[in-house]
Amino acid sequence: MRREKPRCYALPINATLGIIVMHIHILGVCGTFMGGLAQIAKQLGHKVTGSDANVYPPMSDQLIAAGIELIEGFDPKQLDSKPDLVVIGNAMSRGNPCVERILNEGIPYASGPQWLGENLLRDKWVLSVAGTHGKTTTSSMLAWVLEFVGFKPGFLIGGVPENFGVSARVGESDFFVIEADEYDSAFFDKRSKFVHYHSNTLLINNIEFDHADIFKDLDAIKTQFHHAVRTVPSNGMVISPQGDENSIDVLSKGCWSETNTVSADNSVFNKHADWQASLINPDGSAFDVLFQGKTVGRVDWPLLGMHNVSNALGVFAAARNIGILPEVTADALGGFASVKRRLEVKGQVKGVTVYDDFAHHPTAIRLTLEGVRSRVGEQPVIAVLEPRSNTMKMGVHNELLEKSVRSADRSYWYQSNTLEFDLHNWLGSRPHNAVVVDLDDLVKQVCAAAKPGTHIVCMSNGSFGGVHQRLLDQLSLDQEGNG
């Protein structure tokens, strides 16, 4: 006999949205995904509280502004309020005091992706942006295109799009744009997050090996991507890069939806891609868009680099899949203002420009620096790096790291105490322009090496000890001293 899901008549109902109002407590609430989910739950009318090991900005500022109560640490007494549901972030593990109390007392719990998929996305046309690189920027582009045409989409993005000023919202339409991460869902659900989203339009930017802390090899990652492809309905679309062998391999395992391919590389191998670009400016700041060989729009925007041109082509394909004409998408991208921490200019002192870039993988580092080089020509470029992602800290990408900075004139590397290898030994046989220093010496040496016209690109997926402002402050002091 089928077991019916019990109904709880004691909980109030949000008449506007037709949902049962709950007290939802979120463990790991200051992560980009979980923080966005908290804001969405609040907008749906739920009472939302949350905790994290360190309650820190900028996410804490967004959550407080949304009226979400934050708790520092994981003292199990925070569950004395008896929440109706605890949403557990994937940074939580067995042994966490709150997790143990939840399991021992039978408190209802779910992963973030599961909750989102079941409580919001099931009634939406979901546009998912997946891939190893470019997810945040591309999903921000796509959300902005939908906003530009008046769709007022919902979105959840792992960064803060400058066009919106927030990382997540419910939206007012049937469309929802989500940054679809391949990382696992929770300690009790090792499927990738994006499996829960049941995408209607799935945009795959690229596939490389990453997240070595949870995936044993590239094949394990490709298996998860194919799980996502399997969930796309036959009236949906899968968009992928023409020349990416790993994406080709994933789709060769079976695809039951319409497909589109994109390529910003006009080589013979990629000339048959559905969507192509013809550069007007070599740095990618202006280009024509071709669909099946015909020019359908021109993009003139503030972004640079071939990786962003490729990201944009995917957005064209996804937008067309829901009825947005390419020329409209081109107009929208002309007003796209990028994302915080994606080659964000933090300041300029005496002709030296300091950038902040959220770098988590050698390919992303390489593409960003190539984009900078194409924009600035022969002007000096200094890369300042903190290998901080779990995979880079393990030393998995060391050989790729060396190649990733070749577009820079100099590179300075921060040896943190979390690295599982010695940067000094690793760089021993590397070119003389690669230097390993502690944070204080890094600031001094970089500022000493910088001259007017230099571009300093700071790259880390963490706060990097506030190095951006420290560099600007030191440059200002040096200027005063010279004055």
pLDDT in tens, 181-196: 888 999 999 999 999 9
Asked if pLDDT for residue 8 goes beyond 50, the answer is: no
Same-domain check for residues 100 and 38: yes
Does residue 79 lie in a domain region?
yes
Same-domain check for residues 426 and 307: no
Tell if the pTM clears 0.85, that is, is over it. Answer: no
Same-domain check for residues 170 and 319: yes
Can you say how many angstroms the Cα of residue 128 is from the centroid of all Cα atoms in its chain?
12
What letters, b where the CB count within 10 A reaches 16 and e where it falls short, cover 219-240? eebbebbbebbebbeeebbbbb
Does residue 9 lie in a domain region?
no
Query: What is the rounded average pLDDT of the residues 108-124?
Result: 96
pLDDT in tens, 24-44: 999 999 988 999 999 999 999
Does residue 2 lie in a domain region?
no
Same-domain check for residues 378 and 395: yes
Give percent above pLDDT 70 in the chain.
85
Contact between 136 and 343 (Cβ < 8 Å): no
Q: Which residue bears the tokens 């921490």?
A: 341
Does residue 34 lie in a domain region?
yes
pLDDT in tens, 249-303: 999 999 999 999 999 876 555 678 999 999 999 888 999 999 999 999 999 998 8
Confidence of residue 474 (pLDDT cuts 50, 70, 90): confident
Does residue 10 lie in a domain region?
no
> CA 456, CA 434: separation in Å to the nearest integer?
14
| Domain end marker among 80, 111, 142 | 111
pLDDT in tens, 311-329: 999 999 999 999 999 999 9
Same-domain check for residues 183 and 143: yes
Confidence of residue 442 (pLDDT cuts 50, 70, 90): confident
Q: Domain holding 443: CATH number?
A: 3.90.190.20
pLDDT at 435: 77
Contact between 102 and 110 (Cβ < 8 Å): no
Q: Domain holding 165: CATH number?
A: 3.40.1190.10
Same-domain check for residues 259 and 392: no
Does residue 398 lie in a domain region?
yes
| Domain end marker among 333, 359, 393 | 333
Same-domain check for residues 187 and 322: yes
Same-domain check for residues 348 and 213: no
pLDDT at 215: 76
Does residue 99 lie in a domain region?
yes
Asked if pLDDT for residue 5 goes beyond 90, the answer is: no
Same-domain check for residues 212 and 355: no
What are 475-479's contacts with CB under 8 Å, separation 24+? 475/349, 475/350, 475/352, 475/354, 475/447, 475/450, 476/349, 478/350, 478/447, 479/349, 479/350
Query: What is the rounded average pLDDT of the residues 44-68?
Result: 88
| Domain end marker among 78, 111, 144 | 111
Confidence of residue 96 (pLDDT cuts 50, 70, 90): very high
Total number of domains in the chain? 3
> CA 178, CA 36: separation in Å to the nearest integer?
11
Same-domain check for residues 273 and 313: yes
Same-domain check for residues 212 and 301: yes
Same-domain check for residues 138 and 269: yes
Domain of residue 103: give its range: 16-111
Q: Domain holding 52: CATH number?
A: 3.40.50.720
Asked if pLDDT for residue 420 goes beyond 50, the answer is: yes
Does residue 4 lie in a domain region?
no
CA distance readout (Å), 209 to 121, 179, 245, 343, 361 = 28, 18, 12, 23, 9
Asked if pLDDT for residue 459 goes beyond 80, the answer is: yes
pLDDT-wise least confident of 311-320, 356-365, 422-431: 422-431
